[in-house]
Amino acid sequence: MALDVVFRALASAPRREILRRAASEPRTVTQLAEHFDMSLAAVSKHVQVLTRAKLLTLREDGRLHWCRLRPESLDIAASSIDELRSFWNDRLDGLDTFLRANRRKRR
């Protein structure tokens, strides 16, 4: 799975809301669309993007399309963010130490 596809999918506020709503229990695309001021077709396109990013699973049951969150894909994104957070926290801690040491030397 390409991480950039996941982050692109998560960049959209409506998509994040779809994920929140599909996290608690499976919902149909129609049920998801009820909470948005956009057409069913527009919500369906957002669902397609989330499905391609493997953030949602889509199960067809006749005319109903059921959406369910795939949390393992979010875990991959969270892991990437945690690595970046750790990297920058280490660098900023080092900068803080350096600045404090230099401040003392100038006094």
pLDDT tens by residue, 29-83? 999 999 999 999 999 999 999 999 999 999 999 999 999 999 888 888 888 888 8
Taking the C-alpha atoms of residue 103 and residue 89, their distance in angstroms, rounded to an integer, is 21
So where are the chain's domains?
Answer: 3-106
β-strand 56-61 against 64-69: which pairing, if any? antiparallel
What is 3-106's CATH number, 1.20.1250.20, 1.10.10.10, 3.30.70.250, 3.30.950.10?
1.10.10.10
Give yes or no for residue 85 having a pLDDT over 90.
Answer: no
pLDDT tens by residue, 5-18? 899 999 999 999 99
Using a 10 angstrom Cβ sphere, with 0-12 exposed, 13-18 middle and 19 or more buried, the burial of residue 17 is middle
Taking the C-alpha atoms of residue 23 and residue 81, their distance in angstroms, rounded to an integer, is 21
pLDDT value of position 107: 67
Number of Cβ within a 10 Å radius of residue 56: 26
- Average pLDDT (90-99) is 85
Give yes or no for residue 22 having a pLDDT over 70.
Answer: yes
pLDDT value of position 50: 97
Taking the C-alpha atoms of residue 105 and residue 107, their distance in angstroms, rounded to an integer, is 6
Entry pTM:
0.75
